[in-house]
Chain A
Amino acid sequence: SAVISQKPSRDICQRGTSLTIQCQVDSQVTMMFWYRQQPGQSLTLIATANQGSEATYESGFVIDKFPISRPNLTFSTLTVSNMSPEDSSIYLCSVDGTSGVTSTDTQYFGPGTRLTVL
């Protein structure tokens, strides 16, 4: 199984500021996914990040608000820009189960970043 770490684990931020969340995987993966979980809700996909190409965003999410970087096969960042209280959520990165760069039928999540915006 893939071991995924995220930084920070939690943060409290002021309205109008930005926060960059890091996701590190212990093996090379082709696809990385960023999800948002608003309080009391299920998970919603923000975007899919492939190394060497622009991230693909889901409906309702835009690059200016949630810029993503994917500089290599083990790392990605998600920035939450110009934050408002509505951005208070858990942000989770996820990867396919890995065998080298081959995807398998499992999908694993990082521990999440719990963001509170005041």
Chain B
Amino acid sequence: AQKITQTQPGMFVQEKEAVTLDCTYDTSDQSYGLFWYKQPSSGEMIFLIYQGSYDEQNATEGRYSLNFQKARKSANLVISASQLGDSAMYFCAMRARYSARQLTFGSGTQLTVLP
């Protein structure tokens, strides 16, 4: 079984500053993937970044980076230079790499970027 925990229901950040959204996970799988998605008020789920459990380097995609600490079972999302358009709900998710391919989601963090 897999479990994702996001302990920050809401976060605020000033425009142009960096913010870290926390995510911890638990799994019995040896090989797995970790995902972050952004969900604006429109409801669509926008894929942001992926980290494989055996990837040696932390994933980066533009202003998004994933701070992966395998021993601590954490996969925090760092957004640099926040923009007003970053205001949205952010979900951390995971899945096993080789068996069931469905995602298990955390409860989400509502990020608000202040002008």
**How far, in whole Å, are A7 and B97 apart by their CA atoms in the complex?**
30
How many A-B contacts if CB must be within 8 Å?
55
Question: Do A107 and B35 have beta carbons less than 8 Å apart?
Answer: yes
How many of chain B's residues have a CB under 8 angstroms from any CB in A?
23
Answer yes or no: A75 CB below 8 A from chain B CBs: no
The 8 A CB mask of A77-118 against B (1 = contact, 0 = none) is: 000000000000010101010000001011111111010000
Question: Do A107 and B95 have beta carbons less than 8 Å apart?
Answer: yes
Answer yes or no: B68 CB below 8 A from chain A CBs: no
Question: Do B108 and A42 have beta carbons less than 8 Å apart?
Answer: yes
With a CB–CB cut-off of 8 A, which chain A residues contact B37? 109
Interface centre among B37, B101, B106 (most CB of A within 10 A): B101
Instruction: Summarize A's interface: helix, strand, loop or mixed.
Output: strand
Question: Do B103 and A94 have beta carbons less than 8 Å apart?
Answer: yes
With a CB–CB cut-off of 8 A, which chain B residues contact A48? 100-102
Answer yes or no: B64 CB below 8 A from chain A CBs: no
Q: Select B44's contact among A41, A43, A105, A109, beta carbons within 8 Å.
A: A109
The chain A residue sitting closest to B100, CB to CB, is A48
Answer yes or no: A63 CB below 8 A from chain B CBs: no
> Shortest beta-carbon distance, A83 to chain B, in Å?
19
**How far, in whole Å, are A33 and B93 apart by their CA atoms in the complex?**
15
Question: Do A31 and B101 have beta carbons less than 8 Å apart?
Answer: yes
What are 28 inter-chain pairs, A to B, with CB distance below 8 A? A1-B47, A33-B101, A42-B105, A42-B107, A42-B108, A43-B93, A43-B103, A43-B105, A45-B102, A45-B103, A48-B101, A48-B102, A92-B45, A94-B103, A103-B101, A105-B97, A106-B35, A106-B47, A107-B35, A107-B95, A107-B103, A109-B46, A109-B47, A110-B44, A111-B42, A111-B43, A111-B44, A114-B43
**Using a CB–CB distance below 8 Å, which chain B residues touch chain A?**
33, 35, 37, 42-47, 50, 52, 91, 93, 95, 97, 100-103, 105-108
